[in-house]
Structure 1
């Protein structure tokens, strides 16, 4: 039963009506990332009456988040974001269903998490993760609503919408790491992700309601500092789409070589003779992980260092949360290394096991 009073101002729009509101109520949207972009996406989708929302995030709320992630307050610091966001959203709209996945989105858990959703909203900040979000989206034939932010600028697009262009069409996978931004924060104006996240939510609603012009094959670029916008058209690359579809199908069928290591498997690998274990974090990141075969090579230096390694050498890479190590593993595999693994959720997943 639709709450016609709550959604009255939407329902009276001829383009929506009660039929459209029912579409929103029946929709299933997965939001990957509950940070700067994810917060406004979640707030706007919930307020609009999207009936089933999944939230994926294994991070915790930090005080540095509060200037832009408006779902959280100071008392939330230290709490898991996905659960905290779920609680806040249900206070905003208790009539909808929220599922919290308190874990980082990885190739291991992705097939389980995406099951049953109609739209994926990419609110991550890591390029390597975006590629396999795109690939899953392509394989499942569901849209991916994308945004990214940097300092005072942001961009929005929709991929894999009605057999349209994919993320790989616009951003071909790089062959080197120097072309890929580091995961470390470069700074951002607090209002910027809220603007871009609201634009993402708008695209999601248009897709569900089947109204307006969706940003498929178009990249909207927003410059907050000079209040300028532009839209760039891009075309479908059949080979890029096919690559994503194949990769996504393999992921969904779990045809992986156990490349994403659990903490237990990671520690076992570290104890094996001849194993090269590479810490791709910066030198000042904690906790430290000291072992005889652990080498600290920041991600920005990995490309040069890898030239000294044999392509058949087994390698394990790790970082803080698993995002940079995923990026490092993808680069090494694309460079011809045949035995590369990474700690899926980063060193934070085994804090209690570090002596």
Structure 2
């Protein structure tokens, strides 16, 4: 065992001991998302001595992250989150092996990234990625430790653990654009993701050590303002499990359609000047910054379904919103409706703010 002195107080627990610490050292955990939830998860797993940690995140550090993402400092702004987080946790515990995936988790890379990891920790904030994580974990038979936050509230659960309920059992995927959430920032108390991330890390350690009661089939809801918690039980839904497995096997067998392209700002600006492209701003009229190019039309998300009925399914359509979340989900919906030439601005209009300000 590596550096057992570091873990003396942990090994002293009868439920852990040297055998349990060895289990932690041998464990392989994949953390998807190195933001508000991912930072405390990574800190706690590394400190506990989890031997091999994968970090997936295609984003960079921004100053607005710093009030809640405590792995980063001002000097890290503009740097890769995944790479920076890896450097910090290696300094925290040099015994930990870290693999960095400085990319967003999607259908193209999901199977390869998950590889032989034993546990996935879902620290994302995008609904479509949560379904993807669930479906891949189902076919790979890997449990997922999940959390999400909203303003002053958060929730935690464990999915696909020992043939237990999945994310889809708790949150069946809805069809239609009314199911797509608004990605305009609603704010969050900085300490909240750190609290929820610590709870996620606790579930990971319990799974590795095979101790305690795991939150499988249970949703823990935490209200920070009222300091209240409640646990809601939920059961396995065979129909939803079947949906997840079908989706996961399509990805595994590479029989699914190619993932609809997420484009970067340079390509997006080119598309805006091409007459054959329809570029749709799916934000509400009040949202800033404005973006007025010759081929851009503003169609709020709730109206998009009807608006697109007039187009041929082979019409090239480019979607964008504020940060890329709504446009990705709207794109997924249009894909299901049979549209074949779709793309969206990967990180939303926020990614080309500088371009807009210099015009």
- With the length of structure 2 as denominator, give the TM-score of the two structures: 0.88
Distance apart, 1:340 and its partner CA: 5.0
Deviations 1:24-78 (A, max 9, x none): 1111111111111111101111101111111111212122111111111122222
Corresponding position: 1:28 with 2:3: no
| Structure 1 CA distance for aligned equivalents of residues 232 and 13 of structure 2 | 30
Deviation of the 1:272 alpha carbon? 7.3
Structure 1 unaligned blocks of 5 or more = none
TM-score under structure 1 length normalisation: 0.89
Give the match for residue 259 of structure 1: 260
- Which residue does the alignment assign to 2:244? 244
Larger displacement relative to structure 2 (297-306 or 86-95): 297-306
User: Which blocks of at least 5 consecutive residues in structure 2 are unaligned?
Assistant: none
Specify the SS of the correspondent of 1:47: helix
Describe the shift of the 1:298–1:35 C-alpha distance in structure 2 as closer, same or farther (beyond 3 A). farther
Q: CA deviation at 1:224?
A: 0.7
Q: Which portions of structure 1, spanning 4 or more consecutive aligned residues, are displaced by more than 6 angstroms?
A: 264-273, 348-355
- Residue aligning to 1:99: 99
Distance 2:249 2:183 in 1: 27
Q: Identify if the C-alpha distance between structure 1 residues 112 and 26 changes in structure 2 by more than 3 Å, giving closer, same or farther.
A: same
- Whether the 8 Å CA contact 2:90–2:96 is kept in 1: the answer is yes
User: 1:118 aligns to what?
Assistant: 118
Report whether the alignment pairs 1:333 with 2:335. yes
Instruction: State the partner residue of 2:56.
Output: 56
Q: How does 1:11-90 map to 2 (within 5 A)?
A: 11-90=11-90
Number of equivalences: 353
How far the C-alpha of 1:287 sits from its partner, in A, is 9.6
Q: CA deviation at 1:297?
A: 3.2
- Equivalent residue number for residue 342 of structure 1: 343
Q: Is the 8 A contact 2:180 2:330 kept in 1?
A: no
Cα deviation, 1:203-235, whole Å, max 9, x if unaligned, reads: 111111111111111101011110111111111
In 2: Cα distance, 1:200 partner to 1:83 partner: 21
Q: Which moved more, 1:105-114 or 1:272-281?
A: 272-281
* Paired residues of 2:106 and 2:129 also in contact (CA < 8 A): yes
Paired position in structure 1 for 2:192? 192
Change (3 A) 1:110 1:191: same
Deviates more, 1:91-100 or 1:312-321: 312-321
State the Cα RMSD in Å: 2.9
- Going from structure 1 to structure 2, the CA distance change for 1:187 and 1:348 (only over 3 Å counts) comes to closer
